[in-house]
Every structure is written in structure tokens, then in C-alpha cells.
Structure 1
Amino acid sequence: MLEADLHTHTIASDGTGTPTHNVRLALDAGLSAVAITDHDTVGGVEEALEAGRELGITVVPGVEISTAVDGCDIHVLGYWIEWRDPLLLERLEQLRRVRDRRNELIVERLQSLGLRIDMEDVYESVRHVKRRGDTIGRPHIADALVRKGYVASMAEAFDRYLAAGKAAHINPPRIAPAEAVQWIREAGGAAVLAHPGLYGRDELIAELAQQGLAGVEAYHADHTPEQEKHYAELAASHGLLVTAGSDYHGERGGVVFHAPIGSRRVSTDVLEQLKLRQGGRNER
């Protein structure tokens, strides 16, 4: 069976590998297709598409859009988007500005806790790989904390400071999930709710199904087997597609985040079904 991993990140956001590297890993994992779904940017798509042509791997142009409900982060994946669409690019730039301000606020909070860190420390480790339109996120702040000796690992950085509810967690206002679904559809894509088991807000699935949601990422590296079964059944009950993704972010200190490419996979038949649920510019 031909299979795909529909959730991977590159250096365009908070992954550690180039888009070409992700495509090569997909090939090594025996996949026929891989999606590039960086946070609030499509900066890695063009390189990945070229690598896919060279290696014979289907690359799905994608994005993972940051949204929130009542202060809870909710992520919406977009597939088969018109990734060069000017309106989409403008909207993603707006989201990156929010993310940039959040990063500044996190660093300010860390400083108030007595940690000698600033944004230059964060930029230091990414300056040689980041390009215009790329994003900087909490993993890069965690990297800076490790380099400066405040924590021993990225996991400790999140456990002590950066995860929801921890001392330096900041969550600025963001767009609603339904708005992200609409943005994706207006860019010609199909929208999928990412890793719903991390939120515990199952009511969102029914609500977003009425707004044009195409599917649910039931199979995810951070879901338990029980959650995967639950969300696959919940998606089916609302007539939604079921997708799978590793949420691969690369390796840091020899540890893979969240899981290796190909650890969660779905039949490539789903790719064609997602195409049937694409939106279009006539929705604007």
C-alpha cells in the first residue's frame, strides 16, 4: 500500500532539518508522499517540491496555522494549498508577527524570573539557517536556555518554563479555528484539525465540520491508541476524513521530536480525497 506522513516541520519553522532532508527521510521510511506543514509559513514548500521531483516522492504543499479558543492553542493543518497565493502569504505574515511578539514576551518573562537571556541569544542559533518568511518558535527559545546552561534539555525547558501553565508561558490573542479553516479553503486547500487529543475540546470537531473542515488528524505521535480510535470514530461520525502525521520536528540532542517521519502514516488514497474537499478563491 502506498502511504503518506501528513505532518512534518522543517527549518522554515521549528524543525531542525531542511525540506530536502525531510523528503529524503520520507523516502528512506518507504513512504510515497509527505506533507510539509510548517507553523504559519510556507517557506519550506518550494524546496521540498523540487526534492520530491528529484526523488520521486509526492510532496503535499501544506501549512499549520496557529489559532486559539479561550486561551487554548488549537492548530489547523492546510493541505494542497495554493502556497504562492498573495492573500495567504499576507495572512501568514500577520500570524508570524503575533508569534514574534509572543517570543519577545516569553523572553521578558524569563528575564523577570532572573534568567539572563535576550532575543539575540535566541537568534544566535538560527541566524545561519533562517530565511525571510521563516518562523521562530518556543523550541528556539528552549535551545537558547540549553546553551546558556539554565536547563539540561529542551524537554526540561518546556517542563519548567515554556509549556502551557508553566512559569514563562505566554499565549497572545490569535485567530479562531474557524477563521483558519476559511483561510485554507480560500487558498484552495483542505483543512484538517491537528492532534485533537492535545486539546480535549471534542466539540470543536462538530463545530468546524459545519465550517468546511475536511478531516481530523486522528493518528498522531502524541495520541494514545485509545485516543486514535476515539478520534477516528468521531471523525467518521461527522463525515470527515481521517489523517495521520508524525509531527516530525527533527532531532535535538539526539532526541527526535515528536516522532520519526513515517511513524504515523495513512494511505495515499486520503490525498485524493483531500483534493475533493479543497476550497477555492470563489469562497472569498
Structure 2
Amino acid sequence: MNLDALDDAVSESKPRTSGISDVMELEMSLVYANPHQPRKHFDPDSLVELAESIKSHGLIQPISVVRRTAGYMIIAGERRWRAHQIIGSVTIKAALVVKDESEIEEMALIENIQRDDLTDYEIAMAVVRLWETGMYPQKKDLARAISKPLSFVSKAFSVVNKLDPEIRADIEENKRDTGLSVLEELSRVEPEKQREVYDRYNAGEIKRDEFKEAAKPKAEKPIEPKKIKVQREVAVTQGDGRLLFGGDDFHRFFREVEPWKKYKITIEEIV
């Protein structure tokens, strides 16, 4: 028996009882996931284990839902609902949440933020979404509500607001579990350099504390002056305040030069 999966079936994300009705049996076709759910990735193997546990022992902890025009939206327990889909359940146990809209949104977001199986990026997205509800006067109030330090909230905002959109899309699409401190440090890099640094980090070429150095512009290699190998002496005479050059090698050089480039001629005295 997989005890971890059984524990998920019994006690996953137990909701608060205040404002929640008695348990009822809902048709699976009437239940749908919260579109604002910050968690985007559900491990397939873990879901199968949970499904097998529910199939063997039943669902002891019901999901929490709220009534909507389209049916019942999940507030807590999407993994359990997905596990029911795997085993082909027709109905699922659910507790109806009776609260106003702002409380429902807060409950759904906090329930997800406090989970320990979300990626740091998913949590950061949920934190910003919770702030956007306008329910908290200051960010310290938000930090207190989600039981996180204020520094965590600040890092979450840096990641969501300053990180290159292409990087954010890559994290979501490829389900990268990159740490919040790494993403926050990356958000400090100049926008036009972020993707290059991000790719090098994922390739294992650099570490977090090397981001700033990696983002610095590369020094241009000095251009070496073109040297001519003179086979014979070049005649140099002075007349009317000008230097007059002669000799086949000197004239051959000027036939080979590229007119859009700059050249430097050095005169060396031969004793």
C-alpha cells in the first residue's frame, strides 16, 4: 500500500469548516477546475497512485466547491477530482462553500499558496494574483495572511513583473522547478540579457551568483594593424613639407587595401 497516496486521499488540503455546507454527491460532469488555479502541472504518476488509493479506500476528504452558472468550481481538491477522472468515477463527494466572491477567491488562492508541492514560480503567480484582489492594504498584510515573510512577497513581485515574458512562458510550458531566489536574481539582469543568462543557467554553464558577470557586455578584441612584409626598401623623400613614398611594395599595398577600413602607417628609421 502506498501510504503517501492514502494520506493524500484522506487529508489533502483540509478546508476550513466555517461557511461550508454538509457533504453532497455531485456528478463529475458538473464539476470543473478553477481557471485561476496557480498550479499548472500535476505529476501523472502521483495522480495514478492517488487514483488507485481512492479506488481502494474511497474519498474520505471531500473536495470544496462553489456554485457557478456553469456548474461547481473547485476551490480545494483538484488533484482528487483529477484522480476521480482517471478511475472513471461518475460522482464525487464535495462540500459547498458559501461565502462572498472576495472570500472565495482569497480562500482558493491561499489554499494553493500554502501547499508544499507547487513550484516557486506558481506560488509567486498566486501571491501577485492575491494582491490584485485589492483585499490587503499593504504587502505586509498579504505576507501575514499567507504566512510568508515580506521578503518572499517582494521576490514574488520581482519575478512576475520584471522577468522576460518568454522566460515565464518557458517555465510554464516546460514545468521548470526553478527556485524563487534564482528567478529573482535573474529578474535583476538587464531585460535584453535575461534570456541569454537564463539559457546558460539551464545548460549548467553558470550559477546564480554569476548572473551579473555573465550579463556584462563582452570586451571587444582589439584589431591588430595590418603589417606588410617589405621585400625591398621603400624610398622616402621630403619635398615641400610632404613625405613622398616610392617603391613597388608600397604601391602594391595600396592596390590591396579596402577603402572603407582605416589603416595606420608606421615609419621606422633605419640607421
Normalised TM-score (structure 2): 0.24
More helix by share: 2
Q: Which has the higher contact order (CA 8 A, sep 6+)?
A: 1
